[in-house]
Amino acid sequence: MTRWHLLLSVLGVAPVALFSCSSGKSSSAPPGFEAGTGDDGGNGGEGGTGDCSGGDGFCYAPASCKYSYSPPSPLNYTNEALDTPVAADPTNGVPKRVRLGFGGGTTFGQPDYPDPTTSAAFTWETTDQDTNAEVKIGTSPTSLTQTYTGYVWTAPKGLGSSTTNFHEVHVCGLTPDTVYYYQVGGGVAGSQVWSATQSFSTMPASGNVTIGIFSDARDTVSTWQAVHVRMKAAGIPMSLIPGDVVDIGADEDLYQQWLSEIWQYPSGSSTFLTLGQQYIIPINGNHENDAPASFANWAVPGDGPYARTYNSFTVGSVHFIMIDDEQIAAAGSTAETQAQLAWIGQDLAAANADRANHPFIVALSHRGLFSTSLHEADSDVLAARAALAPLYDQYNVDLAINGHDHEYERTYPITSGSSPSGAPTYPAPTGKGTTYVICAGAGADPYAVGTTAVSYRATKTAFGGGTPYIGLYTTLQITPAKLTLTAYGMVASGSTMQDDTVIDTVTLAPR
């Protein structure tokens, strides 16, 4: 049984179908926008090549971009519609929990490939079920001169009490490493409702950049918030999360609680924390369980029947690949598993051939493939290791970052060994080997670290009772010539990275 059939069975729902395609009006572009994009997401000679023709379901092709997106029908989204301005309710139409991601296709090197240096996607919620989906954006907070349109949908209720109305707009043709200001909302003239103005920076096209990577926030929302306070203070432009943001992925109430806590500062002032200010790109873990809400709440790349369960993109010198390992860990030969593994092999092969441009490959998935903590011998973990580690060996993945075991640990460079589900090979053959890191302490309850001596384990750190740390997180400093991962033990009294303890650091050079 595929994931989608399982979801339908659990929720007792049937897919709905609706076909439509977006359009827009063109205008000249001011400074900060590449030529070809304009008002309402319109385009001139560039962009706007996303194709919605030939489908039998709802499709959104952002007119400034070269890709389209169709939510897989088993997610059972309803009320899917392109932006259609209506009178916005001044209370229930107010945008909430605005978040920032990006979209795109999944074939490396193609025109629709994700590009966070020139694109962004804005997702928000309203209490009112309206069809307004617009973003006003510009390089000055007092001059939001460009307007782009998107689409709306309602996510199924799931296990919580909330039925949530979502709105999303994708914008392409932005300028790299540029601060943009924006508002989301819309409506008919005279009855529009807009969010407060927020800002973000597109990713730089080259040079140095530092991003945040942390996992497993699902139990303690204050720790999750504390991690984001540090990301904000450090000016991190992007965070990647390998799974388990919330405890129950089918409970929209949890998403609303966890995301509210990182939208605005804890002081309750009108200033914003990280949500909507920084790119946040998660991939699902076992607690999301691939529930509809886990896909509805984030804008990440991908299209097709298994949209948003895998994607890749580049930041500086790094090719990132993000893998939802739920079906892979089930060890079944389903159509979804076969499609995922085939794509992973193709993507890694393309990335390995592109070392001259992006010398590093970093893979993120949820389950710790070489853990020595609580889940080290679980059958699903071993299945994920058996499927993924040989691919990482074959295509020379430099760094794999996982969650699932609530601790920090890092291996030396290793390969998967004679048996993919058995002990790894250490030392790795010359010029080979992947460094595996587990960093799962962004709010989850702590686990004990492994106590048995293991030759391939470089370091380990616990958090929680009996330690100085309430949680864990990492940063990845990306330069053209090296990658430096720094892991932090987070102290309760701190609010910046400088307040916390560096528990590990490792630097990787190009192969």
Pick among 3.60.21.10, 3.40.50.1220, 2.60.40.10, 3.10.20.30: CATH of 209-508: 3.60.21.10
Q: Which of 6-20, 198-212, 483-497 has the lowest mean pLDDT?
A: 6-20
Q: What is the mean pLDDT of residues 391-415?
A: 98
Whole-angstrom Cα distance, residue 287 to residue 4?
Answer: 16
Q: What is the mean pLDDT of residues 400-425?
A: 94
Confidence grade of residue 238 (pLDDT, cut at 50, 70, 90): very high
**Are 489 and 226 in contact, with CB atoms under 8 Å apart?**
no
Whole-angstrom Cα distance, residue 263 to residue 275?
Answer: 5
Examine the pLDDT at 476 and tell me if it is beyond 50. Answer: yes
Mark out the alpha helices in 333-397 (DSSP H runs).
335-352, 379-394
Quote the pLDDT of residue 266. 61
Mark out the alpha helices in 261-334 (DSSP H runs).
292-296, 326-329
For 83, what's the count of Cα atoms within 13 Å in the CB-facing half-sphere? 26
User: Of 291, 286, 231, 229, which is closest to residue 255 (Cα–Cα)?
Assistant: 291
Tokens at 120, concatenated:
């962004």
Whole-angstrom Cα distance, residue 401 to residue 370?
Answer: 10
Residue for token pair 């942390």: 214
Confidence grade of residue 114 (pLDDT, cut at 50, 70, 90): very high
Whole-angstrom Cα distance, residue 59 to residue 103?
Answer: 14
Say if residue 429 is preceded by a cis peptide, omega within 30 of 0: no
Q: What is the mean pLDDT of residues 230-239?
A: 98
Q: Could you report the per-residue pLDDT of 22-63, keeping only the tens digit for each?
A: 433 333 344 454 433 334 333 222 346 688 876 668 999 999
Q: Could you report the per-residue pLDDT of 319-336, keeping only the tens digit for each?
A: 999 999 999 999 888 999
CATH superfamily label, 16-203: Immunoglobulins (2.60.40.10)
Say if residue 427 is preceded by a cis peptide, omega within 30 of 0: yes
As beta bridge partners, residue 169 has 122
Kindly give the pairing relationship between strand 179-186 and strand 193-194.
antiparallel
Tokens at 278, concatenated:
């920084």
Q: What is the mean pLDDT of residues 184-190?
A: 96
Rg for the chain, CA atoms, rounded: 22
Residue for token pair 């369960």: 309
Q: Could you report the per-residue pLDDT of 334-393, keeping only the tens digit for each?
A: 999 999 999 999 999 999 999 999 999 999 999 999 999 988 989 999 999 999 999 999
Q: Which of 1-15, 138-152, 412-426 has the lowest mean pLDDT?
A: 1-15
Query: How many angstroms from the chain centroid is the CA of residue 230?
Result: 18
Whole-angstrom Cα distance, residue 13 to residue 76?
Answer: 7
Confidence grade of residue 487 (pLDDT, cut at 50, 70, 90): very high
Quote the pLDDT of residue 409. 98
| Domain residue extents for the chain | 16-203, 209-508
Whole-angstrom Cα distance, residue 254 to residue 414?
Answer: 38
Quote the pLDDT of residue 47. 45
Quote the pLDDT of residue 93. 95
In percent, the amount of the chain with pLDDT more than 70 equals: 89
User: Of 440, 418, 438, which is closest to residue 490 (Cα–Cα)?
Assistant: 440
Quote the pLDDT of residue 56. 67
Quote the pLDDT of residue 257. 95
**Helix 252-260 and helix 221-233, axial crossing angle in degrees, nearest 10:** 40
Quote the pLDDT of residue 41. 38
Confidence grade of residue 452 (pLDDT, cut at 50, 70, 90): confident
In percent, the amount of the chain with pLDDT more than 90 equals: 82
Whole-angstrom Cα distance, residue 456 to residue 448?
Answer: 18
Amino acid letter, residue 506: V
Quote the pLDDT of residue 420. 79
Q: Could you report the per-residue pLDDT of 282-318, keeping only the tens digit for each?
A: 999 999 999 999 999 999 999 999 999 999 999 999 9
Please, what is the average pLDDT of the chain? 90
**Are 425 and 393 in contact, with CB atoms under 8 Å apart?**
no
